[in-house]
Structure 1
Amino acid sequence: MIDHTHLNMAASSTTLVLDNGASSLKIGIEKETEPVSVPNCITRTKTERRKSFIGNQLDDIKDLSGLYYLLPFQKGYLVNWDTQRQIWDHVYQSLLKITPSDLNLIVTEPPFNFQSVRDAMIEVLFEEYGFSSLTLTLPSSLSSFHQLMEYPERPCTLVVDSGYSFTHVVPYYRGKALLESTLRIDVGGKLLTNHLKEIISYRQLNVMDETYVMNQVKEDVCFVSQDLYTDMRKARGKQDTNTISLDYVLPDFTSVKTGYILPKGGKQHGTSEEQILRIGNERFSIPEILFNPSDVGIHQMGIPEAIVHCISTTPKPMHRYLYSNILVTGGSTRFPGFRERVLTDVRKLAPDTYPVDVTQHDRPDLVPWLGGQKLAQEGREGAGGHLQSVTQSEYKEGGLAQCHKKFYDNQIILHSNYN
């Protein structure tokens, strides 16, 4: 059961939920059906280097080739505060048209965040934006809360969060993270896109400066193989037996605004100037890096092995429940076949006596925001009171020490304290 007897609501009754990801931020008032997704970057074009496009203003750019990005996150951590402030200002003032001081805020930070980065975020949100109250937590914690609300009879959840910079495997017991067992894999969407750029540039066409375009290619054509060796044979086959390879028409942002897959036997749109990529085994070899990082020289476990190893380090009574409640979230889990491959591989590695079940939301990248929405609707200290808020007045009185106690100490559980 979820205990709501220790609520600590601020004077404001409206909550803003912000999943502040390295690639995009999902933001919205708790009463909204779904959040607004905004690129978490400032963009400049090759023709207008002096003009900046903030967040969703990217949609106003007519020629999306050769974009130059200013990112607030580097290697998964928020370090460029000037850039992040500009993006937040744009979202708050121009996009949502909200006044932060009138709102409570639930915001995410990455696992293993540096204390200095966390403290800077708290100070900026309280002192510069003046939010009425603040809850700072992990994306996986909000995902775990969402799963707990969906399946209240399941005390344990294993959250696999594969995002832009990293993939994290985080076990939860009754809403608390077991950080001693949490694993990080240094593979995310950024690495996959960069590797695809390198392969295409080596084999066909120099696309090293086309991050935006190649990211779209990745999302349009890639899938997770269920049988790697069979798909490799198909990709090597002749045209009549090759069901893997396809032609992709690149956008030129003049006659072709958006890239698309050329139908089998289809013709070009009538010009010989169209650039066409022949995509073969890249369709599945790129997502395969999530399952075998050693393919690109990263000597770490793939996701299925990480899941099994993570569970093996938790208290043994939890193993059965964690195997039976694996939740995959994050933008890099959207490849077709991702959930099925994780289920198949974990089933092979897990003890035969344990049931294995893998859950995936229709929009896995939105699960943390949806969890934050449910948390706001249920009470800021939902999930057994582990996700707590600090009000503006409490911050002024207790400072960062008050925040550390509520945001960190109450969200984790040590193995020695498991009961």
Structure 2
Amino acid sequence: MNKFILDNGAYLAKSGFSTDEYPKMTPNYITKSKNARETYIGNELEDCKDFSGLFYQLPFQKGILVNWEIERQIWNQIFKRSNVDCPQTQLIVTEPIFNFTYTQECLEELVFEEYGFDSLLRINAPNLAAFKYLKTNAKDFCLVVDSGYSFTHIAPFYKGNIILEGIRRINLGGKHLTNYLKETISYRQLMVMDETYVINQVKEELCYISTDFESDMKIAKFKGKENTIARDYVLPDYAGLCKGYAKSQEESTGIPLDSEQIIRLNNERFTVPELLLHPSDIGIKEMGIAEAIVDSVESCPSNIRNELYENVLLVGGNAKFKGLKERVFKDVRCLVSNKYKLNITCDEENSLSYAWYGGKMLAEDKEFDDLVVTKKVYDEFGHSACKKKFDLNN
């Protein structure tokens, strides 16, 4: 029986069979060009020649799947490109922690009644990440920090089971960072409020987490070569240049060459992703990642706190920011007693797909068949069978 893993992120869907070495990445949205003549579903965006002023239609709003018509079109493309034979395939699909019942039931109906999959495992991404970490490192405990597009979840685990009282959610993710960068650049340099696609690339290429915020702020105030932080980003013109790029430190002078149009990032490079640590900087009344980690662990029984602090795992798209691992260690270390041994793990290269690899490992586990709901069972008992099997409170 084939096993297909779909880590259904709000911005990127990571998918593939358990026998695949790597997951396929699919934009989890539909885009329309500026003139609205062209519509691109998921990976069809690769055919776009002009990314200026793209209009996005996302199935997710604030991290919750609300538009099933859009999601259905994207899933159709994913399953078609991977040649998924649904009746002969077991599906693992991720959902947010504490997802709405209505959304879960819509998913189950789509999986069983429309696609006709053989069986389903509905699970959250931090659980898959924890499964991979615990199996790989032969541990019993871990604390997963999953920072994605719409929000950040902190979830403690014991032997693969989530500890409910320790779950924390920060309503801030990559989307907020991109929007804040757009606002900052538009106010200081050039109106880019409609250029979400391009500014997201700028964020991914140039932004980083400062490990010494005050020192970097001082450097950013210097002029000329003394300022080692300021960098230029050449914007695409969609004539001779279809994709923008960051200039090296030596090439970044702040002066455009020939027909170039540039954006110059200085302290924005680290003040924008700093929101992950201090959301209150722009008036968002949420804890930062370090505070949320401590709050999560301290809500757990005292006899397991040392194990949790020793096994903190950073995953998700925002874990790719250079310096996040070091900064989280530094900030948490300042907040907790030295009697606790602290260890932060982050696979920056695979942080985005870490949960998918966890699903790949789980699919090959000997107990996998006990975790799923089959179509036969669903046809007989309906949503109640899935609720009994998958809900966190059971």
Q: Does 1:221 align with 2:206?
A: yes
Alignment of 1:111-260 (within 5 A): 111-152=97-138, 154-260=139-245
**Structure 2: tracts of 5 or more residues without a match:** none
> Is the partner of 1:240 in helix, strand or coil?
helix
Amino acid at match of 1:260: Y
The equivalent residue for 2:78 is 91
Query: What TM-score comes out, normalization by structure 1 length?
Result: 0.91
Q: Does 1:316 align with 2:302?
A: yes
The number of residue pairs the alignment matches comes to: 392
Bigger Cα displacement from structure 2, 187-196 vs 175-184? 175-184
Residue 85 of structure 1 and its aligned partner are, at CA, apart by: 0.4
Find 1:17's aligned residue among 2, 5, 11: 5
Q: Deviations over 1:57-91 (max 9, x none)?
A: 11100111110111110110000000000011111
Residue 119 of structure 1 and its aligned partner are, at CA, apart by: 1.0
4+ runs deviating over 4 angstroms? 267-271
Residue 381 of structure 1 and its aligned partner are, at CA, apart by: 3.2
Residue 273 of structure 1 and its aligned partner are, at CA, apart by: 2.8
- Residue 271 to residue 255, structure 1, CA distance change in 2 (3 Å): farther
CA contact (8 A) 2:156 2:167 kept: yes
Matched residues in 1 for 2:140 and 2:303: separation?
Answer: 11
Alignment of 1:16-415 (within 5 A): 16-47=4-35, 49-93=36-80, 95-152=81-138, 154-266=139-251, 272-361=258-347, 362-379=349-366, 381=368, 388-408=371-391, 411=392
Residue 264 of structure 1 and its aligned partner are, at CA, apart by: 3.9
Relative contact order (C-alpha < 8 Å, sep 6+): which is higher? 1
Residue 14 of structure 1 and its aligned partner are, at CA, apart by: 1.2
- Residue 84 to residue 241, structure 1, CA distance change in 2 (3 Å): same
Q: Deviations over 1:259-293 (max 9, x none)?
A: 11223453899963321111000000011000000
CA contact (8 A) 2:231 2:252 kept: no
Amino acid at match of 2:179: N
Residue 180 of structure 1 and its aligned partner are, at CA, apart by: 2.2
Matched residues in 2 for 1:326 and 1:159: separation?
Answer: 6
> Is the partner of 2:353 in helix, strand or coil?
helix
CA contact (8 A) 2:143 2:312 kept: yes
Matched residues in 1 for 2:65 and 2:6: separation?
Answer: 14
Query: What TM-score comes out, normalization by structure 2 length?
Result: 0.96
Residue 45 of structure 1 and its aligned partner are, at CA, apart by: 0.4
Matched residues in 2 for 1:66 and 1:102: separation?
Answer: 42
> Is the partner of 1:365 in helix, strand or coil?
coil
